[in-house]
Structure formats: structure tokens, C-alpha cells
Amino acid sequence: MAVEQSLDQEIFQTSGVAVVSSGHAVHDTYTAFLPALLPLLIEKFSMSTTKAGLLTVFLQIPSLLQPFIGHLADRANLRFFIILTPAITGAAMSLLGIAPNFGFLAFLLVIAGISSAALHSVGPILAGTLSGKKLGRGMSFWMVGGELGRTLGPLIVVTAITYLTIERLPWLMLAGILASTFLYVQLKNISTQPVTNGNGLSILAALKQMGPIMLPLLVLIFTRAMMMASLTTYLPTFLMDEGANLWIAGASLSILEAAGVVGAFFGGTLSDRLGRRRILAISFSATPVLMALFLITAGISQVPILILLGLSALSVTPVIMALVQENFPENRALANGIYMAITFVLRSIAIIILGLIADQSSLRLTFIISAGLIVVGLPFIFLLPKSKSAA
């Protein structure tokens, strides 16, 4: 049965939010292939760490399109962006293993990046619209979908390489096609347009209005991007440098992301009750301590620390997304697009910086630096506005 959009916008529409989040889960399963494939691609194409980091940048550069897609989503129904993206991203990411050269790798990742930009511009807004007053919970559902995908992705691609070989990875795109078919059936009666259907702001006007919120967010986003780039992009490579095999390295990323599923759910949901700033402060305080503990341990003892890191570090995103959307209710997609574009750009810069540091020194040093930087962001949390409501 297709999801119907309720006329009562105060109600949390569980089925609709779950459908949108399931599309996010499938999509992000595919984008999570890259970190697990990175050690193999480095060996295949004899890449430096900096050049390997550029692959993630290629995946994220199209995020610059998100403000423009969001601006359009505030004015037109873009549900097909949500419907088509699992199939498009699935096809592009499933072909990485058979790419003949670095240039074709870059091409596939840019295609996947454009698809990802479309989904992440429109999907959170539809999930938020269907969440009524429980915006934090809605963003938690959305992020749980993404974290589930990023949990399963490395395990799926490593298992596929083990049993199917890397040459047969293209078969994995079939799941994306099936997911897009499911989303088409479920979302045919849903609109991505905001309830107000107002004209909204221009991009420049929105940037000016968002200034007081975005300035402290820039610091939080960048300091967190340095840490997350270390954990999510370079974690498998770091562990392999430390002596782990490919399976253990890939599994470590899935452990982190699996804990992130729980962290993302409770982070946004609790922020509806306790306030956005309080949850952010807890995360920014705990994460650097846990990162330091991870670096001074080894082997199996790192597993519980990875779990706690996932719970803490990955609880932040739904909180920030809810904060951005609730402060710009008539321009949700545009505001979200601007936030997401800034996030991906700063994350790309962080990946390059960390890659350069790793090439000159070691990945261990990049982890130490990123853990220290997260502390810098802590005071800026209190420059953010308080939550407009708590339930």
C-alpha cells in the first residue's frame, strides 16, 4: 500500500518516515563501499594516501549542488529524486571494482555524488515534513537509515569480494534497482513541497538570514569533519597499516557505524526533550576522550571503544539537521541544502588535509590531531539558538 500524506501536519507519520529512511539506507549502503574498497584501489592503482583521499572528494564535490536542489525543492515536488537515487548510486558504486583507470573511478564517483546530493537535499525535508512536531525523531529515523546503510555497506562489499570476486561486484546494483521500484510504489502520493507552499527566500537572502546560526556551525562542522574523516574514510586503512587484515579493517568500520545507528536514533529523539545544545555538548565532550582511548589500545580491546565512539560521534547529525530545519520552516530544503553543502565541502577539505599529514607523517598522527580539534568546537555550541520546542 502506498504512503498517504496526512493532512494533519502535527502527527508523526511513522510509515512515511520509515519508507523515506529505507531509501536512505539502501543508498548509503552503496556509498559505504568506498572506504572498504580503498585499500584494494590503492594497491591496484599504486595511489598515495592523498590521491586516494581525492576519491572521497570526487564523491562529495557534487554536494555543492545541494543549495540549488533544495531551493527548487521548496517550490516543486522532487519526490523522483528520492525514488531514483538508490538505483543510480547503486550502479555507479558497483562498477568501482572493475574501473580500468583512475579517471573512470573519478567519473563513477562524481555520478554517485550527484545522485547522493539529490537524495540528501530532498530526503531529509520529506522526512521532516512527515514528522510533525517531532522533528528530532524524524531526523533520527532518517539518520538511522543512513547509519544502517553505512554499517552494512563495508560488510556487503568485502563479503562480495571474498565469495564473488571483485570482477562480479556489478551484480550488487540489482538491490538498488529493486529499492527504487519499491520507493516509486510507496511515494507516488507524496509531495516534497513544504506545507506553506510560500515563495520562500532566494539563496543569497537565505544565506544572510542563516548567518547567526551558520557561523558557529561552521566551526562545529569543520572540527567534527576532521574527526569523522579520520574515522570513516581512513579507519580501515589505518588498521591495515597497524597490521589488521582486510576483513577486520572492514568490520571495524561496520562496528563503528552499527553503534552509530543507536547513537543517531537517540541523539535526535532526546534532543526533542533535552534540547539540541545539550546533546551536542555531551557528544563534543565525550568523543575526543574516546578517540584518545582508541589510540592507546590495540586489538580486541579497541572494539568496545569503537562502539562508544559510534554512539557519541554519530549522534550529532540528526540534532544539527533538526536545529537547521526548525529555524527555517518555510525554506527547509534550501536551509538544509546550504548546511549539507557546507558540511560536505569542509569534510572534503578535512580529508585532503588529513591525507597530506598522513603522507608526511602517519595516519596515527592524523587521528591525534583530529581528536584534539574536536575540543575547539565545544564553546561554539553555546552560540547556537536554543531549541524552539521540546516535547
Is residue 236 within 8 A of residue 284, CB to CB? The reply is no
* Closest by CA position to 211, among listed 317, 121, 316, 335: 335
pLDDT in tens, 293-318: 988 887 788 889 989 998 998 888 88
Tell me the chain's radius of gyration from C-alpha atoms: 20
Please give the Cα distance from 125 to 138 (Å, whole number): 10
Record the cell numbers describing residue 123, joined without a space.
530526503
Record the cell numbers describing residue 18, joined without a space.
520509515
Q: What is the pLDDT of residue 380?
A: 92
* Closest by CA position to 261, among listed 5, 3, 39, 25: 25
Is residue 280 within 8 A of residue 316, CB to CB? The reply is yes
Question: Percent of the chain, pLDDT > 70?
Answer: 93
pLDDT in tens, 9-19: 668 888 889 99
Record the cell numbers describing residue 359, joined without a space.
603522507
* Closest by CA position to 147, among listed 69, 13, 256, 47: 256
* Closest by CA position to 124, among listed 323, 390, 391: 323
Distances (CA, A) of 288 to 54, 209, 266, 295, 371: 26, 32, 20, 11, 5
Q: What is the pLDDT of residue 116?
A: 94
pLDDT in tens, 239-254: 888 877 777 777 888 7
Q: What is the 3-class SS of the chain, one letter each residue? A: CCCCCCCCCCCCCHHHHHHHHHHHHHHHHHHCHHHHHHHHHHHHHCCCHHHHHHHHHHHHHHHHHHHHHHHHHCCCCCHHHHHHHHHHHHHHHHCHHHCCCHHHHHHHHHHHHHHHHHHHHHHHHHHHHCCCCCHHHHHHHHHHHHHHHHHHHHHHHHHHHHHHCHHHHHHHHHHHHHHHHHHHHHCCCCCCCCCCCCCCCCHHHHHHHHHHHHHHHHHHHHHHHHHHHHHHHCHHHHHHHCCCCHHHHHHHHHHHHHHHHHHHHHHHHHHHHHCHHHHHHHHHHHHHHHHHHHHCCCHHHHHHHHHHHHHHHCCHHHHHHHHHHHHCHHHHHHHHHHHHHHHHHHHHHHHHHHHHHHHHCCHHHHHHHHHHHHHHHHHHHHHCCCCCCCC
Q: Which residues contact 291 (CB under 8 A, 6 or more apart)?
A: 227, 309, 367, 370, 371, 374
| Exposure class string for 2-21: b at 16+ Cβ within 10 A, else e | ebeeeeeeeebbeebbbbbb
Tell me if the pTM is above 0.85: no
- Four-residue CA torsion sign, 24, 29, 32, 33: negative
CATH number of 14-383: 1.20.1250.20
Please give the Cα distance from 158 to 36 (Å, whole number): 7
Residue ranges per domain, the chain? 14-383
Please give the Cα distance from 22 to 184 (Å, whole number): 13
Q: What is the pLDDT of residue 178?
A: 97
Write out residues in the chain with pLDDT < 50, as ranges.
7, 390-391
User: How many residues appear in the chain?
Assistant: 391
